[in-house]
Every structure is written in C-alpha cells, then in structure tokens.
Amino acid sequence: MVDLHIIVEGQTEQTFVRELLAPHLGHHGVFAVPRLVGKPGHKGGNSFPAARTDILATLKQRAEIYCTTMFDYYGLRSDWPGYEEARAQPSAAAVSLLAEHLHAEIARRLPSAADRFIPYFQRHEFEALLFAEPNSLAQNIEVDPKRVTELLSRYGGEPEAINTDKGPSRHIQELAPSFKKRIDGPLLALDIGLAAIRGRCPHFDTWLTRLEALARPT
C-alpha cells in the first residue's frame, strides 16, 4: 500500500478526498489522506508559502510518502511561481504551467523527493466538477435542468472550462441561492460519482489516473 498525502486548500476538497477519492484509491493500493493546507484552524486559501511549507514537511516525513495537491486556479494568489506567465495562457495551459513551476520549486529545495511529488491545480474551481452530470446537479439543487445545460453549453459542454470572474461555485449559487459549498459540494460529488466526473473532466481524470498508478510495479 502506497501512502499518499493530498494537500487541499479548503474543507470542501478535504471532504471530497476523504469521502470519495480515498476509498476509490484504496482499491488501487493507494492509502490517501487529505490534509488542509496551513496551520490547524485554517479555513482555506491558497497562499504559496503555506503550501510550500506543508509540501516539504510532508515529503520529509518518510522516504516512502507521496504528496500531491488539490488547489483551485480560480482565486490563486500572485505569489505562486509562474503566476504571471500562467495568467497569459488559456486556463488549460495555465494549470499545467503552474504545476510545472511548483514541481520545479519543490525539486530545487528537496531534490531527493522530486519523484514523489505530483502537483495538481483544478482548472478553475472544484465546483466545476459538479457540472459533469447536469441532470443530477439540477435535481439536487432543485432547478430546471435546462438552466444547467444552457450554462454548460456556453462553455462548449466542458465542465472544467466553466468560469467567469465569479467562479463555478457562484454560478451554482445563482441557480440555487441555498447552495452551501462546504456541505452541498461534496454530497453532490458523491451522488454524481467519479465515473461521471472523470468522463467529462479530462484534466481531473489525468491526475486521478496518475494517482491510481502509484502502487503499480514499475
């Protein structure tokens, strides 16, 4: 069994990893544990110094531990390496570029752990994944499915492309003002299921596929 620590930026992601990703990865021989970035009591956010500290501390614990991240590109602070360069790119390229810069920074500080670090940024925000199954999302937030599909169609039918200056979660809150990110987001993801999410979200699927392979012989 491979030990994997997933450093997340908020409690929504923490619950998603604990309730959905961890059981799934366990079937692939990967013991995944979510860790909220920052000091105890931290309520979310994506400060680079805090993330770097936690990533390095995790990798230094034992030579067998793997570490990955789950941070949103939406709302990312400008102190992240490669931020300005990424901002000039489309979101799909931007998140890959940020991951490359983050990996290079960790590898520079801890070369021996470079192969055990897998950086990942959501292509906008976690809640974009909830659009992977429009009918399920509409049913759960009690709105006309046409409203969800119409919104999704504005982004070419790609859940991970959903964004404006307000982010995917605000789109859902505008459809259903009672939507609570921290509580409803992970529950919706559980209802939708990983198969549907990864089937419509290729960036997320690539990351999950890489995590599943950690316990396979090389």
Lowest average pLDDT, out of 27-31, 42-46, 124-128, 163-167, goes to 42-46
CA 38 to chain centre: 17
Give the SS3 label for residue 2: strand
Q: Which domain holds residue 89?
A: 2-124+200-215
Angstrom distance (rounded) from CA 180 to CA 58: 31
E-strand ranges in the chain read 2-8, 30-36, 66-72, 117-118, 121-122
Quote the CA–CA distance of 187 and 150 in Å, as a whole number. 23
Question: Does residue 44 register a pLDDT over 60?
Answer: no
Structurally, the chain folds into a number of domains equal to 2
pLDDT of 167 reads 80
Same domain, 64 and 82: yes
pLDDT band for 40, please (50, 70, 90 cuts): low
Whether 15 shows a pLDDT value over 70: the answer reads yes
Q: The dihedral of CA 99, 103, 106, 109: what is its sign? A: negative
Backbone region of residue 142 per phi and psi (left: phi > 0; alpha: psi in -120 to 50; beta: other values): left
What mean pLDDT is predicted for residues 16-39?
Answer: 94
Task: Tell me the average pLDDT across 61-68.
Answer: 96
Confidence of residue 41 (pLDDT cuts 50, 70, 90): low
Question: For residue range 138-180, what is the model confidence (pLDDT) as tens digits?
Answer: 999 999 999 999 999 999 999 999 987 668 888 899 999 988 8
Residue 106 has pLDDT above 80, yes or no: yes
Give the mean pLDDT of 172-195: 90
**Is 53 found in the same domain as 41?**
yes
Q: Does this model's pTM top 0.85? A: yes
28: domain CATH number is 3.40.1400
Q: Are residues 120 and 33 in the same domain?
A: yes
Same domain, 136 and 169: yes
